[in-house]
Chain A
Amino acid sequence: MTKKILGPQEFKELEEDIQLTLLHNDGVHVGKRKLHGKTLILFQLHGFYVEILYKEYRKKIYYMLVSADTEMLQPYLDQIHVRDLQKHKGKD
């Protein structure tokens, strides 16, 4: 049976708990950065990216930005390990 790959729009429509569980279980961490004293983490999930802005690191979330635009990678380029990023076809 083929596993359906979730797209960014479908991901956006999920409840936050489910989104975070998916990221925790299947997301690939791309990098971490600070902006105005707040921490941001970027994940790749299947063929799109999810950036989490924390109010309190790893505890309280301000928002999640979801997009397939590779511009999301720009602030993290110095941290990217290319071999760790998954191809869109995803894992078996």
Chain B
Amino acid sequence: MTQSLPPKSLVLHADDDPDDIEIVKEAFKPYPNVEVVSFGNGEALLENAAYLSSLGLNPCLIILDINMPRLGGKELLKELRNRKEFDETAIILFSTSTLPNEAAFAKTLNAGFVTKPLHAKQVDQIADIFITQCPEEVRQRLRQSGRTDH
């Protein structure tokens, strides 16, 4: 008898900085049932999120860098919130600075705001911080997918 694997929780991430893409991928490594799909710009995330959603693959979390060429994180957040399929998806603006106006902007669109880490201890905590910003249902699902600390 075959046993099906539990479905993976999909996390979409857009950032034009390849180093920061690696940081986020690494942060979710302790969660083997989380699949992080990354894009180098906002337009690519928007197109792919719409396509994946049409296939019934809805992300449980979307992480957006703020400063990206062509389509920045704030514009992309507005665009996603205008689409029925993403109007309630957990979205986090992931920024290099703690600017109060940007955190307030995220809040007005029911999104979270997380400042990028500066050292190893913060990097280790970043996945937990992302998860904490998600709605309860998403938090439970991501935590069920397990943290496999060594």
Interface SS of chain A: mixed
What would be 26 A-B contacts, judged by CB atoms less than 8 Å apart? A17-B121, A20-B119, A24-B115, A24-B117, A24-B122, A25-B98, A25-B115, A26-B98, A27-B97, A27-B98, A28-B97, A28-B99, A29-B97, A29-B116, A32-B96, A41-B118, A43-B97, A57-B19, A58-B19, A58-B116, A58-B117, A58-B119, A58-B123, A59-B119, A59-B123, A60-B119
Cα–Cα distance between A23 and B116 once the two chains are bound (Å): 11
**Interface 0/1 of A34-51, CB less than 8 Å to B:** 000001010100000000
| Interface bracket on B | 20 to 34
Cα–Cα distance between A59 and B117 once the two chains are bound (Å): 9
Q: Which of B96-122 contact A (CB under 8 A)?
A: 96-100, 115-122
Known: A24-B117, A84-B97. 18 other contacts (CB 8 A): A20-B119, A20-B122, A24-B115, A25-B115, A26-B98, A27-B97, A28-B99, A29-B97, A32-B17, A41-B118, A57-B23, A58-B19, A58-B20, A58-B118, A58-B123, A59-B120, A59-B123, A81-B67
Nearest residue in B to A23 (C-beta to C-beta)?
A: B118
B120 pairs with A52, CB closer than 8 A: no
Nearest residue in A to B22 (C-beta to C-beta)?
A: A57
Cα–Cα distance between A30 and B118 once the two chains are bound (Å): 14
B99 pairs with A84, CB closer than 8 A: yes
Cα–Cα distance between A28 and B17 once the two chains are bound (Å): 18
Task: Determine the chain A residues whose CB is within 8 A of the CB of B95 once the complex forms.
Answer: 29
Closest 7 CB pairs of A and B: A29-B96, A29-B97, A59-B120, A28-B97, A20-B118, A57-B19, A20-B119
B98 pairs with A24, CB closer than 8 A: yes
**Interface 0/1 of B2-17, CB less than 8 Å to A:** 0000000000000001
Task: Determine the chain B residues whose CB is within 8 A of the CB of A28 once the complex forms.
Answer: 97, 99
Cα–Cα distance between A29 and B102 once the two chains are bound (Å): 13
Nearest residue in A to B23 (C-beta to C-beta)?
A: A58
Nearest residue in A to B98 (C-beta to C-beta)?
A: A25
Task: Determine the chain B residues whose CB is within 8 A of the CB of A91 once the complex forms.
Answer: 100
Q: Which of B113-137 contact A (CB under 8 A)?
A: 115-123
- The verdict on A5 contacting chain B, using a C-beta distance below 8 Å, is no
